[in-house]
Amino acid sequence: MSLSTLTKPWEAMSYGFLDGSAKRELRRKMLKSVAVPGCQMPYASREVPMARGWGTGGLQVSLTLVNPQTRVKVIDQGADDSVNAASIRRFIARVAGTPTTMDTLEADLIQSRHRIPEEVLREDQVLVLQVPNPEPLRPVQPNMSIARQMHADADYGRMWLQLYEQIVRSGRVMQGASYPSLVHGRHVMTPSPIPRWDVPKLHMAEHLTILSAGREKRIFAVPPYTRVEPLVFSDVPYKVEEHGHLTCTRSGTKGFFMNEVPQDDGSSAFEVSDSEWGVKTIRARDGIGESRGETWYKDGEMPQ
Amino acid sequence: MTLTLNAPRIVETRPLLEVHGVSKSYGSVQAVRNVSAHAYPGEVLGIVGESGSGKSTLLRMMNLEEIPEAGSYTLDLPDVSGNLFELDRFARRMLCATKIGIVYQNPHLGLLMKHSSSGNVAERLLVAGERSFATLRQAATEALDASEFPLDRLDAPPIELSGGMQQRVQLAKAIALEPALLLLDEPTTGLDVSVQALVLDTLKRLQQDRQITMVIVSHDLGVIRTLADRVMVMRRGAVVETGLADQIFQDPQHPYTQQLVHAKL
């Protein structure tokens, strides 16, 4: 028996771009992060043909999870058609031969930057979020060694100091995205820069969420049916963005997270941030079939 | 007729703070060697000595920031027991947050310079687990008021404040949770004489109002004389003399103490 009989023949590229050992590393760390919800696991982040900060962490997780049957959807700030989303989607399809989709209901794997789709995700779906800065304590504790100790001790008092400062300075909590949240009553995580609107969607969600920061080499997860509670003062309730009453100028859908489009006359128009939800609404209006799934928010309110 | 005399209070009460035989060295430098100290409830213990005499190290050990090689440390408080040097990190943090307040010479050590002053005080309560904004706000205002901080600057960050004001913020933070023990590390050094007098005034009033046990470290005999009931003189990591404040200042026994007192006068 020689070495050449034991090894695979040379290939120009391995399936899903990453080599076997890289995928094994990621799988192990994903399992670990699911086992300890919200706890940041360091992992050996690999090079992918994309600059750090453009979703390399999320891409590595997606490339590890896909098989030729996985339907992949990629979102960038709610849109499926932005350059970044389109490029990542095309890349995954090219190296893994996966079918792609824009429909949230059809997708098995959703890689997203900054948004969670408006339609409710199911148990058989996985959401991968790209994270630029995984450390919620960084604004209050620049020393990462001490920050890790604080995580170990669940010493999160200073996170409320940040909120206190915002209320004192501005009269309300100003934290717009990456709202620090307590996962499973133990670890505080930053849920990637999703708006406040999206944080309640993670609470007791049916789907698995994996958050991965490629540059910072940290991975953490919110397993299905796990509590995710945004940090609040007992007498200052958590508030999502006041978008419940806004109507999308393009599709006419109402009660979802909107993008503000400044107009020439100084006023603002709004269009729904989840572009696929907008497309579906227009199709339904024009009578071109296509089913719309159940949404997390109903009439602009998150049912408790 | 028989006359029964009650034993003096000092005989009956047990010391609140007891440090026994602590030693600490940094590499080849022995900073503190075999030092013992105690302070009774409501008493102010002053520690004097020149720079490098180990007095600040001793104070840092009392705040459990440093753990000595040898020695024990006990606080006579309900739900506190045993040698505090043996506590784990978690228990140590809770104890420091709720029972001990400290004011450093350098406000940068004790304060978050870019956060608001009231936020700095509120942090103390947040660490102890308070989660109501209204309560935090009120407690911070009360503590700052008690340390005679002008309330119109409540939300100014310490970096914009004068040295005396920064010390008052530190003091407010230290007393916010009504600690049993207040540690003061050169609280007035670096302030000009008039501001120094004002801060000392505040400290004295606080001590009278709340009967907090204090340990004050200073190289300035004037400060010690104003505040302390009992004085401990340290030199080269060891205690050379202890006694009541008047005793030490009027009738110093050890040659080094004599030098100190005469140099002052």
pLDDT tens digits, B59-108: 999 999 889 999 999 998 888 888 999 988 888 888 888 899 999 988 99
Tokens of B43: 């008493």
Any domain includes B1: no
Residue in the structure block whose two tokens are 């400060």? B223
Answer whether B134 sits within 8 Å of A161, measured CB to CB: no
Other CB atoms closer than 10 Å to residue B114's CB: what's the count? Answer: 11
Torsion from C-alpha of A24, A28, A29, A33, nearest 10 degrees: 150
**Chain B residues with CB-CB distance to A234 below 8 A:** 131-133
Place of tokens 């060697």: B33
Q: What are the contacts of A242-249 at 24+ separation with CB within 8 A?
A: A243/A197, A243/A270, A243/A300, A244/A297, A244/A299, A244/A300, A244/A301, A245/A300, A246/A270, A248/A272, A248/A278, A248/A281
How many angstroms separate the most distant Cα atoms in chain B? 69
Is residue A235 situated within a structural domain? no
> Is residue A29 located within the same domain as residue A161?
yes
B262 vs A: CB within 8 A: no
Is A69 strand, coil or helix?
coil
Backbone angles phi, psi at A220, to 5 degrees: -150, 165
Predicted confidence at residue A166, as pLDDT, reads: 92
Is A169 an interface residue toward B (CB < 8 Å)?
yes
Task: Tally the C-alpha atoms within 13 A of residue A273's C-alpha that lie toward its C-beta.
Answer: 26
Best to test chain B binding among A145, A233, A239 (most B CBs inside 10 Å)? A233
Distance from CA of A242 to the nearest CA of B (A): 22
| Backbone dihedral region for residue B115 (phi beyond 0: left; psi -120 to 50: alpha; all else: beta) | beta
Best to test chain A binding among B133, B151, B153, B173 (most A CBs inside 10 Å)? B133
Q: What is the count of structural domains for chain A?
A: 2
Is residue A273 within 8 A of residue A257, CB to CB? The reply is yes
Decide: helix, strand or coil at residue A298: strand
In the stretch 234-253 of chain A, residues with CB closer than 8 A to chain B read 234-236
Please say if the pLDDT value at position B265 is more than 60.
no
Task: Extract the tokens encoding A96.
Answer: 């893994």
Nearest CA in chain B to A150: B90
3-state secondary structure of A84: helix
Q: Find tokens 């719309």 and name the residue.
A: A292
Q: Is A153 on the interface with B (CB under 8 A)?
A: yes
Query: Which two tokens mark B171?
Result: 């003091």
Give pLDDT tens digits for B195-232: 888 888 888 888 888 888 999 998 888 888 888 999 99
Structural tokens at position A163: 């909120």
Q: Is residue B9 a part of any domain in this protein?
A: no
Tokens of A116: 């969670």
Q: Which residues of A touch B93 (CB under 8 A)?
A: 153, 155
pLDDT digits (tens, 9 = 90+) for B173-205: 999 988 999 999 988 887 888 888 888 888 888
Q: Are residues A144 and A288 in the same domain?
A: no
Indicate if A267 and A174 belong to the same structural domain. no
Count of domains for chain B: 1
Residue-range definition of the domain harbouring residue B51: 27-264
**pLDDT tens profile A105-137:** 999 999 999 999 999 999 999 999 999 999 999
For residue A37, what pLDDT is reported? Answer: 96
A272 forms bridges with which residues in the sheet? A258
- Residue A14 within any structural domain of the chain: no
In angstroms, the CA B188 to CA B163 distance is 9
> Would residue A273 count as lying in a domain?
yes
Same domain membership, residue A86 and residue A36: yes
Using CA atoms, how far apart are residues A81 and A35, in angstroms rounded to an integer? 34
Instruction: Give me the CATH number covering residue A132.
Output: 3.40.50.11310
Given a contact cutoff of 8 angstroms between Cβ atoms, the answer to whether B180 and B77 are in contact is yes
CATH number at residue B33: 3.40.50.300
Cβ neighbourhood burial of B99 (10 Å; 0-12, 13-18, 19+): middle
Last residue of a domain, one of A168, A201, A230: A230
Read off the pLDDT of each residue in A285-290 and give the average, rounded to a whole number: 82
Residue A302 shares a structural domain with residue A199: no
For residues A47-70, give the mean pLDDT: 94
Strand segments (E) across A242-290: 258-262, 268-272
Inter-chain CB proximity B129 and A157 less than 8 Å: yes
The Cα–Cα gap between B7 and B1 comes to 19
Write out the DSSP string of A10-29. P-SS-TTSS-HHHHHHHHHH
Same-domain pairing of A158 and A70: yes
Judge if A172 and A266 occupy the same domain.
no
- State the amino acid at position B3 in one-letter form: L
pLDDT at B1 over 70: no
In this structure, is residue A237 part of a structural domain?
Answer: no
Q: Copy the structure tokens of residue A263.
A: 């107009």
Q: How far apart are CA B92 and CA A183, in angstroms?
A: 26
pLDDT per residue as tens digits for the range A63-80: 999 999 999 999 999 999
- For the cut 60, the answer to whether the pLDDT of residue B2 exceeds it is yes
How far is the alpha carbon of B127 from chain A, nearest alpha carbon, in Å? 5
H or E element, residue A269: strand A268-272
How many angstroms separate the CA atoms of A200 and B172, rounded? Answer: 38
Q: Could you say which of B90, B112, B133 has the minimum Cβ distance to residue A233?
A: B133
Distance separating alpha carbons of residues A140 and A190, to the nearest angstrom: 13
Cα separation, A219 vs A131, whole angstroms? 9
List the Cα angle A118/A119/A122 in 5-degree steps.
Answer: 135
In a domain, A81, yes or no: yes
Q: Judging by DSSP bridges, how do beta strands A126-130 and A208-213 pair with one another?
A: parallel
- Give ipTM to 2 decimals: 0.81
Residue B33 near residue B189, CB atoms below 8 Å: no
Helix, strand, coil abundance in chain A, percent, nearest 5? 30, 20, 50
Q: Which of the listed residues A230, A259, A287 is the one where a domain comes to its end?
A: A230
Q: Which helix (H) or strand (E) holds B173?
A: helix B163-175
If asked whether residues A158 and A47 sit together in one domain, one would say: yes
Decide: A113 and A75 in contact? Cβ < 8 Å.
yes
- Cα separation of B208 and B51, whole Å? 30
Which residue segment(s) compose the domain that A168 sits in? 20-230
In the numeric block, which tokens belong to residue B195? Answer: 């501001």
Tell me the C-alpha distance between A107 and A118, whole Å.
14
Band of pLDDT at residue A215, cut at 50, 70 and 90: very high
A230, A260, A286 - which closes a domain: A230
What is the rounded CA–CA span in Å between residue B207 and residue B257? 26
